[in-house]
Structure 1
Amino acid sequence: MADSEKPDSQDIRLPDPELVRRTMTDIAERSQRIMLGWLKRQEAEKPQVPSGQPDPFNIGSAFLEMTAKLMANPARLMQAQMGLWNDYMALWQNTTRRIMGIETEPVIAADPRDRRFKDGAWQDNEIFDFIKQSYLLSARFVQDVVKDVDGLEPKVAQKVDFYSRQFVDALSPSNFVLTNPEVLRRTVETGGENLLKGLTNLLTDLELGRGKLRIRMTDTEAFRLGENIATTPGKVVWQTPLMQLIQYAPATEAVLKRPLLIIPPWINKFYILDLRAKNSFVRWAVSQGHTVFMVSWVNPDEELAAKDFENYMTEGVLAALDAIERITGEREINAIGYCLGGTLLASTLAWMAVKKDRRIKSATYLVTLLDFSEAGELGVFIDEQQIQALEERMNKRGYLEGSEMSQTFNMLRANDLIWSFVVNNYLLGNEPFPFDLLYWNGDSTRMPAAMHSFYLRRMYQENKLKEPGGVSLCGVPIDLSRVNVPTYMLAAREDHITPWKSTYQGLHYMKGTKRFVLAASGHIAGVVNHPESGKYSHWVASSTPDNPDDWEDAATEIAGSWWPDWQRWIAKLAPETVPAREAGANVTVIEDAPGSYVKVVA
């Protein structure tokens, strides 16, 4: 902190002694309750990992292999160390010049998009600038060393790189009180009350996680399903043990003859597509003249442990098709599958092709993998040892805890989805800000043990879906090459869950006319992008060559959302219209949207 920034001793606020006393008493009592509860659960839930597997993530063996390969080439490691030493010498010299008032260029600069170092003191103050650059140099050194190791298997190299970044991210100076200028400033201004409040927030999150840290990303009390989120009017018109089917009320006098069925992933809840009016795909689709039906998957418990992937087809997609035909009288429909819901849609279409069932006349896939050979960073968590450890936990309970999957996804963007909230909630002592997208992100969903094991093994680990006959559903070997309907496939350029080039490859396993569109941003923001938001852009091309790089070279960037492009595509397939259909007509309505399944908390 520069001299001009140092507060006068009279300006330093001391904490209220009574507040400190009350807070510490409360902390002591709550800490004891949390610890006792956690110990009881640990005893009840043993064993936590399979016997003989103290390293269920298989991290240790990966780093041992990396170290052995690294030691086999000591000259390269020495060269990297000398490079780091030279960089540090340059940093010391630059810092000395800055202290003397001489302007200098940084040895290493932070990415302008890196919000960890947005506070002005990271640039303006010589000491904090030194701390920042020192960290960035060390981070670069670690990541360069692990990336340059020769002879590692690709899966091992990916795991070493991923967990090295987790280590580097955790050690960022922004994550510690004494090396974060914003936190230090807040501590002086509040007399340390921010740290007391932060400790209270930490205990609240431990209580929510029943002894495990469950970081609140948003104000969970700010949203109510059906009141200020997931509010598009509609009715639950059918249900099975695995799903409720929602029909949304029309917003136009005439609607497209073909109803639209949306199949979301069951890893998360459906209302990512119906957050608020300003960003609801459902509400927008209804306004474009679609009769929209939405699958709302159940949040399963141990009673549904044996439900498999094919049950999600029969009691989910096929049951929805039957219900839509009964309700609307229409046998032909358009279908959308989002992420895992798209994988299910393609698998169902392949099964229907064998059965000569042609009710689905077009398929839209949103950020969907059909070829898992390059499955992105989720592949770090897919190997035999990790799957066995996961299966043992799932089989003991009958399901995968939603929080476990949520933690995995958060690790893929640790700085944004973990450490930024550690700083905000625990160091700055702020309350989480109300944000609909983060509320949905924290609304975890469980998954049946049998289904998740099948999906991990047959899709991610073995990559059998792309092989003719590689996967069988209800005793029927399926083949994606038999799928012959118009296909619209959307990918997202910055998607860390379903990389866009991997998504593109899945397009070529199926027949029929095809349109590929690449949206800016990531797995969620690239999809949920209302045209009125004016955000992002998308790329289109007139053909779909085999190589995604060739497609990219020929693609044209268009400002704004991809939604209107999809609407033009799907309306052109079948432009015939009929009078609007009231939600719940010709059927006994079960309840109002968004239904009860979505309200079950994991």
Structure 2
Amino acid sequence: MEPTAGVRPQQAVESYPADRAFHAALARLSGGISPVALLLAYTDWLSHLATSPQRQLEISQEVVRDGKRLFEAAQHFFSPQHGPWSLIRPSAWDRRFARPEWEIPPFNLLAQSFLQAEQWWHNATTGTRGVAKQNEAIVEFSVRQMLDVLAPSNFAATNPEVLQKAFQSGGENFVRGWQNWCSDWVRLLSGHPQPAGGDFVVGETVATSPGKVVFSNELIELIQYYPTTDKVHPQPILIVPAWIMKYYILDLSPQNSLVKYLTGQGFTVFMISWRNPGAKDRDVAFDDYRTLGVEAALATIEDIIPDRQVHALGYCLGGTLLSIAAAAMARDGDNRLKSITLLAAQVDFTEAGELTLFINESQVAFLEDVMWQRGVLDTTQMAGAFQLLRSNDLIWSRLTRDYLMGERSPPSDLMAWNADATRLPYRMHSEYLRKLFLNNDLAAGRYLVEGRPISLSDIHTPMFVVGTVLDHVAPWKSAYKIHFLVDADVTFLLTSGGHNAGIVAPPGEEGHSYRLRTKAADATYIGPDEWLNSVQPIEGSWWPEWTKWLAARSGEPSAPPQIGIKLADGQALPDAPGDYVRQ
């Protein structure tokens, strides 16, 4: 029998162990990036550029024009009439040259010549007719990473901040930087590359909201938090966090804890805490996270609080999983969800930001071979991919501060949480990348749950969807697509900040703002740009806006429910934060 068209033979997936072992070894040298994917992208760009003589002439003329401008600026650079950023100004998000020291000659000229070269390379690697969009993005991104290495801010002799620090401290900053470097290398060689959380300890200073683990299986612990008000809303909240990182991003220090805020607003809160998988969990499937996670949690809540609908919240990948679970429940006539809240979550992956640079057939196959050997995607590979998306802030600025300035950033609860990384099972991550990123099965109505397809359009439950302006992981315009994928009232909120800092936005903390608008299920769709122009920003945290929305869809407060249920086998479960979060 001939194999079905478009389906790879099983032998091609499971065989060739020598090839897969070679790819896994190669990944240690390439940082998990597929060399073949890079080669294909550069071949596409260079081939089309080589057959575009007018485009070649254009970028060549731009080199001459930029060189002439730089030469003329250098001749008059010390003139009082010469502005500090006469050639090119850094973008608002580029903080490498933000301090006033960079406006002093000759450092200003160094910064401008670098920014000018950066702009030229951006123009040279984009805009060539015929180059595949993803290949163009890969080339532009990789060239930008190489240029970032050469930024004048990365070298002591060309960084005025470092020179000023050295002059003021008599060179002591270099001594401290050397000590920091040695300390980091010792930690790396010992197998603990991330700095310790300092004073932030799980269960002591973070993840401290009082509660009880009320259910446990091989994949989750379900935490029920103790009420902090005399009466609570009858509908509980179930939080489904991402299993890429630990759950306590939503229960950091008490002043930054969304859990503490919710219990203080009179809500009964349940939280899923995922177990950190090891090599023996290599065959845990993506759907296991739905059945052993969301479904098991909902069943437990139903046992504790019978006949009550649930407000469900999903964050990041947890939001994608919650959307899948909600669509399956809607298909099967299950109405246990009172509302659905998605925080920085995507259900359509066609425009999933710069993270898609790492997602193509070559790269996914390469990652599968790495995970096939280890059984999991290691924490260092995942952390490295996220750091590359913001290399200026997360890599080079940190190296400059730690090793040239001789300083360390003061510890914070968010930094401690970020260093507390997790692993991903081989099968689950492979299914996630292929079904959702590569094939976009969920948005296209091809995603199967229990052998039958689900459709997001079956969801009629009111939704509250939060996007963040600076999100590199789940861009807000990608999250906005929920408007035309579900058949429900959608309240969309766009908040300031990024993927994490935009979500952790407690009331009273300065610098937060948001925009808000509700679209009824039968209302006319408007695009994200039109939406942005039609909604005025509001200063402050988005948390009160969301709890007000929840309260309007909840019953009158009454006495708090019981904490957990008595286990038939007499099994004793731990207090919050539980055991899984410490793994």
Q: TM-score, with normalisation over the residues of structure 1? A: 0.86
**Secondary structure of 1:337 counterpart:** strand
Among 363, 370, 376, which residue is 1:399 paired with? 376
The answer to which of 562-571 and 91-100 deviates more is 91-100
Is the contact made by 2:227 and 2:263 (CA closer than 8 Å) also made in structure 1?
A: yes
Alignment match, 2:574: 591
- The match for 1:560 among 540, 551, 565 is 540
Three-state SS of the structure 1 residue aligned to 2:66 is helix
2:367 pairs, out of 373, 376, 390, with 390
* Contact persistence 1:541–1:556 (CA under 8 A): no
Which one-letter code corresponds to 1:144 in the other structure? N
Answer yes or no: is 1:80 the counterpart of 2:59.
yes
Secondary structure of the structure 2 residue equivalent to 1:183: helix
Shift of 1:272: 0.8
Deviation by residue 1:40-78 (Cα, 9 ceiling, x = unmatched): xxx999634499999446112212221222222233333
Secondary structure of the structure 1 residue equivalent to 2:550: helix
Larger mean Cα displacement after TM superposition, 241-250 or 101-110: 101-110
- Which of these residues, 521, 532, 535, is aligned with residue 497 of structure 2? 521
Paired residue for 2:447?
471
What CA distance in whole angstroms lies between the structure 2 residues aligned with 1:345 and 1:54? 30
Name the CA shift for 1:378/1:104 in 2 (closer, same or farther; >3 Å).
closer
Specify which of 253, 261, 269 is matched with residue 230 of structure 2.
253
The match for 1:505 among 473, 481, 494 is 481
Aligned-residue offset at 1:163 = 1.3
**1-side partners of 2:574 and 2:356: how far apart?**
40
Q: Which AA in structure 2 matches 1:229?
A: V
Mapping 1:83-482, distance limit 5 Å: 83-99=62-78, 102-104=81-83, 106-124=86-104, 126-210=105-189, 214=193, 216=195, 220-468=197-445, 470-482=446-458
Instruction: Tell me: CA distance 1:249–1:45, structure 2 relative to 1, closer, same or farther (3 Å).
Output: farther
What is the CA deviation profile of residues 494-549 of structure 1, one whole-angstrom value per residue up to 9, with x for unaligned ones?
A: 22211212211123222232211211222112211112214321112242643323
Moved more, 265-274 or 182-191: 182-191
Go from structure 1 to structure 2 and tell me whether the alpha carbon gap of 1:50 and 1:223 turns closer, same or farther (over 3 Å shift): closer
Q: Which of 481, 501, 514 is the equivalent residue of 1:538?
A: 514
The aligned counterpart of 1:13 is none
Is this contact kept in 2: 1:234–1:248, CA < 8 A? yes
CA 586–231 in structure 1, closer or farther in 2 if over 3 Å, else same: same
Q: CA deviation at 1:585?
A: 6.0
Once the 2 structures are TM-superposed, how far is the Cα of residue 464 of structure 1 from its aligned partner? 0.4
Query: Which residue of structure 2 lines up, in the alignment, with residue 63 of structure 1?
Result: 42
Q: Contact between 2:468 and 2:476, CA under 8 Å: does it hold in 1?
A: yes
Counterparts of 1:352 and 1:119 in 2: how far apart (Å)?
Answer: 53
Q: CA deviation at 1:200?
A: 3.4
Q: What per-residue deviation string (whole Å, max 9, x for no partner) do you get for residues 208-231 of structure 1? A: 334899465xx6322111111111
- Residue type matched to 1:393 in 2? V
Q: Relative to structure 1, is the Cα distance of residues 50 and 558 closer, same or farther in structure 2, using a 3 angstrom cutoff?
A: closer
Aligned to 1:5: none
Distance 1:516 1:118, change over 3 A: closer
Say if 1:531 and 1:560, in contact at 8 Å, map to a contact too. yes
TM-aligned CA distance change 1:54 to 1:579, over 3 Å: closer
* Aligned partner letter, 2:503: V
Aligned equivalents of 2:97 and 2:500: distance in 1? Answer: 25
Aligned-partner Cα distance in 1 for 2:295–2:352: 27
CA contact (8 A) 1:236 1:589 kept: no
Deviation at 1:330, TM superposition (A): 4.3
C-alpha change, 1:45 and 1:84, in structure 2 (3 Å) is: closer
Give secondary structure in 2 for the equivalent of 1:561.
coil
Q: How has the CA–CA distance of structure 1 residues 119 and 509 changed in structure 2, closer, same or farther, with 3 Å as cutoff?
A: closer
Sort the Cα spacing of 1:197 and 1:213 in 2 relative to 1 into closer, same or farther, 3 A: farther
Contact preservation (8 Å) 2:360, 2:438: yes
Residue 271 of structure 1: how far off its partner (Å): 0.8
Matched-pair contact (CA < 8 Å) for 1:282–1:292: yes
Q: Decide which moves more: 365-374 or 186-195.
A: 186-195
Q: Distance in 1 between matches of 2:218 and 2:130?
A: 49
State the alpha-carbon separation in 1 of the partners of residues 39 and 205 from structure 2.
46
User: What is the CA deviation profile of residues 135-172 of structure 1, one whole-angstrom value per residue up to 9, with x for unaligned ones?
Assistant: 11111111111122221111111111211221222221
Aligned-partner SS, 2:349? coil
Which shows bigger deviation, 475-484 or 242-251? 475-484
Which whole-Å deviations, capped at 9, do the CAs of 1:235-289 have from their partners, x for residues lacking one? 1111111111111111111101011000001111111111112221111111111
SS of equivalent residue, structure 2 residue 212:
strand
| Cα distance in 1, alignment partners of residues 121 and 33 from structure 2 | 26
The separation in 1 between residues aligned to 2:207 and 2:404, in whole angstroms, is 33
Partners of 1:51 and 1:190 in 2: CA distance: 39
Q: Secondary structure at the match of 1:235?
A: strand
The match for 1:17 is none
Where 2:106 maps in the other structure, the secondary structure is: helix
Quote how far apart the aligned CAs of 1:599 are: 1.2
> Separation in 1 of the partners of 2:411 and 2:194?
14
- SS of 1:307 mapped into structure 2: coil
Q: Percent identity?
A: 37
2:558 to 578, 584, 587: 578
What one-letter code is carried by the residue in structure 1 that aligns with 2:576? A
Structure 1 residues 98-143: Cα deviation after superposition (integer angstroms, max 9, x where no partner):
335554462112235432113333112x111111111111111111
Give the one of 452, 467, 470 matched to 1:494.
470
State whether residues 234 and 308 of structure 2, in contact with CA within 8 Å, keep that contact through their aligned partners in structure 1.
no
Q: Do the aligned residues in 1 keep the contact of 2:33 with 2:363 (CA within 8 Å)?
A: no
**Equivalents in 1 of 2:499, 2:309: separation in Å?**
29
In structure 1, the gaps of 5 or more residues are 1-42
Which residue identity does 1:107 align to in structure 2?
L
Letter in 2 for 1:570: L
Conservation of the 8 A alpha-carbon contact between 1:489 and 1:507: no
Tell me, in whole angstroms, the C-alpha distance in 2 between the residues paired with 1:107 and 1:435: 38
Q: What TM-score do you get using the length of structure 2 for normalisation?
A: 0.89
C-alpha displacement of 1:416:
0.8
Tell whether the 8 Å contact from 2:467 to 2:480 is kept in structure 1 after alignment: yes
Local SS of the residue matching 1:47: helix
- Note the C-alpha offset of 1:461: 0.5
**C-alpha spacing 1:92/1:223, structure 2 compared with 1 (3 Å):** same
Change (3 A) 1:548 1:109: closer
Counterparts of 1:46 and 1:152 in 2: how far apart (Å)?
Answer: 29
Larger deviation, residues 192-201 vs 428-437: 192-201
SS of 1:245's equivalent in the other structure is strand
Measured in 2, the distance between the counterparts of 1:241 and 1:423 equals 43
Distance 2:326 2:336 in 1: 9
The residue type equivalent to 1:479 in the other structure is S
Give CA-to-partner distance per residue, 1:180-222, whole Å, 9 cap, x none: 1222233344454433432332343334334899465xx6322
